[in-house]
Structure 1
Amino acid sequence: MIDWVVFARARSELGGGFVRILGYFREDGVKSVLAIEAAMRGQNAAAIVIPAHTLKGEARQFGAEPLGALAEKIETVARDCVERRDTPDEAMADVAALRQMFERSLAILEAEANPVTPRRQGFGRRIG
């Protein structure tokens, strides 16, 4: 679910601000998911575009590629629907899956960023 190379690069580039920026991702992501769900319920494709775009970029910044790809797919469908002046019905299944994917991705990212959580061990490395 996470591209650890991208995650490590973000952690390195953001330095001491990494945990704070990850917190912003949590806050913004929750808002984006809520906005996308509300827009879907209201059949408002235009209201899906910006939160999906935001979630896509922020997810990819931390290496949450499957989440970023899902947000991009939702964004693309919404943009197409805006151009066609259509409702975003075809995004229903993806929007329904979005919250769970966001929550799973965030949990993995936060666990890895937590200084008291044991780090993943590489193959063949002994603990202790």
Structure 2
Amino acid sequence: MPYQEAELVNWNELTRTRTELSSAFLRILGYFREDGPKAISAIEQAIRERNAVALVTPAHTLKGEAAQFGANRLSAIAEHIETVARRCVETREDPDELIEIVVALRPCFTETLALLDRDSNPLVARRQPAFGRRTDGGPQGFGRAV
């Protein structure tokens, strides 16, 4: 599947990661929040320098970190960059064909991180109604006559 068609976030994968990481989830997400822009900056710098070798490692790192959180589109974009960069290294070509996709990388990361942050925010209303409270707009509390 081309990266353009990949879903932004696979919620099942994110839930699985949250369960596996348990209390470490928010800490690891924080690392991703910090490391992602560094990898993207390195990719952008490498493309400006037309340096295929310098594209491989940050793209590979971003691919794996994004996949861990179910960020499928971001991971697919990074994988495409890595694959093309490796081919360019082998054939000694400039990675100019990656310019457009590298330009799309940072907005994709920003959009993805906003979704992950919104879903991971402990203040987001995911709570069940409290016992004895009505959610249909009727009278609140126990024992109230209707």
- Residue 104 of structure 2 corresponds to residue 116 of structure 1: no
> What corresponds to 1:67 in structure 2?
74
Instruction: Quote the Cα distance in structure 1 between the aligned partners of 2:125 and 2:26.
Output: 16
| Equivalent residue, structure 2, for 1:124 | none
CA distance in 2, matches of 1:28, 1:84: 30
Normalising by structure 1, we get a TM-score of 0.92
Match of 1:51 among 58, 67, 74: 58
**For residue 130 of structure 2, what is the aligned residue in structure 1?**
none
Runs of 4+ in 1 over 3 A off after TM superposition: none
**CA RMSD of superposed structures (Å):** 1.1
The whole-number CA distance in structure 2 between the counterparts of 1:105 and 1:39 is: 23
Partner of 1:17: 24
5 Å-filtered alignment, 1:27-106, equals 27-106=34-113
- 1:24 deviates by 0.4
- The one-letter code matched in structure 2 to 1:114 is N
Report the Cα distance in structure 2 between the residues aligned to 1:60 and 1:106, rounded to whole angstroms. Answer: 13
- Please identify which structure carries the higher helix content: 1
- Equivalent residue number for residue 15 of structure 2: 8
TM superposition shift of 1:86: 1.1
Work out the number of aligned pairs and report it. 121
CA-to-aligned-CA distance 1:15-49 (integer Å, 9 cap, x gap): 00100000001111010000000000000000000
Q: Which residue type is aligned with residue 44 of structure 1?
A: N
- Matched to 1:51, the amino acid is P
Q: CA deviation at 1:118?
A: 2.6
**Partners in 2 of 1:33 and 1:57 — Cα distance?**
13
**Percent of counterpart pairs with the same letter?**
55
Rg comparison, structure with higher value: 2
Instruction: Give me the TM-score of the superposition, normalised by structure 2.
Output: 0.80
Task: Find the aligned partners of 1:118 and 1:33 in 2 and give their Cα distance.
Answer: 32
